[in-house]
A and B are shown apart, each in its own frame.
Chain A
Amino acid sequence: DAKTTQPPSMDCAEGRAANLPCNHSTISGNEYVYWYRQIHSQGPQYIIHGLKNNETNEMASLIITEDRKSSTLILPHATLRDTAVYYCIAYFGNEKLTFGTGTRLTIIP
């Protein structure tokens, strides 16, 4: 897996967009960018993934820079239930998936 770097923690006001950055400057050409989140005492939950193009689903949007060295996960209207640790992982899907330290996102009422 390519190493990823994320800020250890972030706060976001409820109802606002939460933008979580991730650096993956050593990502290789066939590695995707995956985002998972883990709410306290639960298993990780898949959010979104992408290779080169920006992606959007019902949970979030993923913006990947043209050089693929960084990306941003966007939660458009954060709610209190979005408080979790968010993990950005760069890997190719037939490999083992290892987790970094992630970003602890706190949504503030």
Chain B
Amino acid sequence: GAVVSQHPSWVICKSGTSVKIECRSLDFQATTMFWYRQFPKQSLMLMATSNEGSKATYEQGVEKDKFLINHASLTLSTLTVTSAHPEDSSFYICSARPLRGGNEKLFFGSGTQLSVL
């Protein structure tokens, strides 16, 4: 089956630093990738939609300058949490939609647990 690799699985950083999370589709091409965040005991919240070669579309209330998204190729999207603060600590998950088009299911990465000290 299709695989989405997300790296790193967990990261601990100091307040004020930036953290980059990578999301790769390993065996398919994806024009669209999605980024979610999830707080403990809550559902996934969509942050932004990432389209290859164009600017990401952010959901209401998500700061685009805080959460930088780059989708430079059909197999890679990155999320950079800039100047991270403790309130940014969360579980971040990416997903990718295959290029085939039509009604395609999404494939999800295994998630990144970010802890900001």
The reply on A109 being an interface residue by CB < 8 A is: no
Closest to A102 in B: B43
Contact size class for B? Answer: 20 to 34
CB-CB under 8 A for A34 and B108, given A96-B46, A100-B43: no
Cβ A94 vs Cβ B103 within 8 A: yes
**In the complex, what residues of A have CB within 8 A of residue B34's CB?**
96-97
Interface size for A (C-beta < 8 A) is: 23
Q: Please provide the chain A residues from 24 to 42 with a CB less than 8 Å away from any CB of chain B in the complex.
A: 32, 34, 36, 38, 41-42
User: Measured between alpha carbons, how far is A93 from B105 in the docked complex, in Å?
Assistant: 7
Residues on A facing B (Cβ under 8 Å): 32, 34, 36, 38, 41-46, 49, 85, 87, 92-94, 96-102
Q: A44-B108, A102-B43 are in contact. List 15 more A-B contacts (CB 8 A).
A: A36-B108, A41-B113, A43-B95, A43-B109, A44-B93, A46-B108, A87-B43, A94-B102, A94-B103, A96-B46, A96-B49, A97-B46, A98-B46, A99-B43, A101-B43
